[in-house]
Copies of this chain bind each other. A is one copy, B any other.
Amino acid sequence: MPIAQAIDDLTTLLGERVSLSKPDLEAHGASESYFPNTPPQAVTYPRTSEEVRRIVEICARESVPVIGWGAGTSLEGHGQALQGGVSVDFRLMNKVLEIRPADMDVTVQPGVTREALNEELRATGLFFPVDPGANASLGGMTMTRASGTTTVRYGSMRDNVLGMEVVLADGRMIRTGTRARKSAAGYDLTALMVGSEGTLGLATELTLRLHGVPEAISAGICAFPDMGAATACVMETIQMGIPMARIEFACGQTARAFNAYAGTDMAEAPHLMVEFHGSPESTAQDAERFAEIVADHGGSAFRWSGREEERRALWSMRHNGYYAILASRPGARGVVTDICVPISRLAEAVEATQADIATSGIPGPILGHVGDGNFHAILLVDPDQPAEQQTAKDLAARMAKRALQLGGTCTGEHGVGYGKLPFMAAEHGQGWQVMGAIKRALDPQNIMNPGKLVPGN
């Protein structure tokens, strides 16, 4: 058996850092979403890039699948072992290798989480801004092209990964990018790897762009009489050129879930949560200008603050949004949608989604990064009721189709994994076949995270 031979060789290489225990295998076959458990046959815990390289080499020789694993916070089943194989868990590769304040960049191992990195950067006056909510690993964030609450200001992983060290499917190791801020030296392999979901190789080192911690931050929250007023406020804020660092939407159902989960007393109405970065003067001015726009759209008084503890409470509530929503229907699993549309079509997209959910009979609170045109409906399904799951999947499919019709994408930030595979042909047409051709060129045995992202895989 190729897998038996691979496990023997991996054990020679890694000793006790190869695990075959049932709980460990199941933990690496699980997801935070609605997918069934699909465990790998072994879990490995490498400590170095060279160990990762040798793991891939062994698996390549035996034609055994290799699946990367970060913090397990993916929502589209990225880390699941659909065809068995070897899970490569990066938790021991959690070192910040070099911080370079003068160049405002940092090199890390992929197992470092975004919170751990920011903790380590605390004394430097710099921070890493990409913030998907969960305390994901930076390797996982890179490979899923994560974004989140601050993308409207600082960009996504696409904009903040300068270069990578990658182990390819044949065990070769390459470096993509340089530490220069820009380059025109050939195909942008960094951009190709960011968002490739481990289907082209495993990242073993990342060089990330850092940003200066703003001198001042103001943040606040306000309620709106209806959805349309809230999205109109977002559009006008963007068009006025007010530089938001975050602008997040939560629907009335989400507000109710926050109240139950976090003990808050939000009105059960659509809300915007907003943050401004700059100087004390500019952030106060931005908040005042925003408050005027809110008032023009019939919103509640915009309560804002420059105090850190109040901001922390606000964003902690937002970051727990997924869990708060899950808790609002005990025992439910979430079918998470993630569409992103041009900002001019946002109101239309949200309204049509809400109407669709309302007629489905399934709870589907909405929240999202509306400054980017990206929002999520969390469709809460009873895992024991297949009919509900089907209804949710049908709803999600209609949302994805609607996003494409509006010039958008079926996934703004969660990635394809295997949950979004059914929409790839419609979104990319022949472009999806091009992705498949690239995959076959770099991984002809199809051992890198098979069953994800590309066609016929």
Contacts and interface: CB of A to CB of B under 8 A. Distances in A.
Given A187-B435, A188-B194, A412 B342 contact: no
Contacts of A176: 431
A93 B440 CA distance: 34
Interface string A172-199: 1111101111111111110110111000
A343 B209 CA distance: 13
Contact of A158 (B182, B372, B420): B182
A196 B188 CA distance: 8
A408 interface: yes
Interface stretch (A109-117, A145-153, A223-231): A145-153
Contacts of A159: 159
A4 interface: no
A99 interface: no
A442 B439 CA distance: 11
Interface footprint category on A: 35 or more
Contact of A100 (B151, B182, B340, B344): B344
A168 interface: yes
B186 A416 contact: yes
Contacts of A430: 168, 172-174
A374 interface: yes
A396 B186 CA distance: 18
Contacts of A192: 187-188, 191-192, 438
A251 B119 CA distance: 42
Given A159-B159, A212-B241, A438-B441, A186 B103 contact: no
A413 B180 CA distance: 11
Nearest to A213: B241
A431 B179 contact: no
A144 B168 CA distance: 26
A403 B416 CA distance: 37
Chain B CB within 10 Å, residue with most, of A189, A282, A424? A189
A402 interface: no
A429 interface: yes
A209 to B, nearest CB: 12
Given A441-B441, A442-B434, A144 B182 contact: no
Contacts of A79: none
A385 interface: no
Interface in A191-234: 191-192, 194-196, 200, 212
B373 A180 contact: yes
Interface string A401-417: 00110011111111110
Interface string A153-174: 0001011000000001000111
A431 B241 contact: no
A341 interface: yes
Contacts of A372: 180-182
A168 B434 contact: yes
B435 A186 contact: yes
A89 interface: no
A188 B282 CA distance: 35
A312 interface: no
A428 B172 CA distance: 13
A184 B144 contact: yes
A12 interface: no
Given A182-B412, A184-B415, A189-B434, 17 more contacts: A100-B344, A103-B342, A104-B238, A144-B184, A146-B184, A159-B159, A168-B430, A173-B430, A179-B407, A180-B372, A180-B408, A183-B411, A186-B428, A186-B454, A189-B428, A212-B241, A440-B441
List the 9 shortest-distance A-B pairs measured between CB atoms, nearest first.
A191-B191, A441-B441, A183-B409, A102-B344, A179-B407, A180-B340, A180-B408, A174-B431, A184-B415
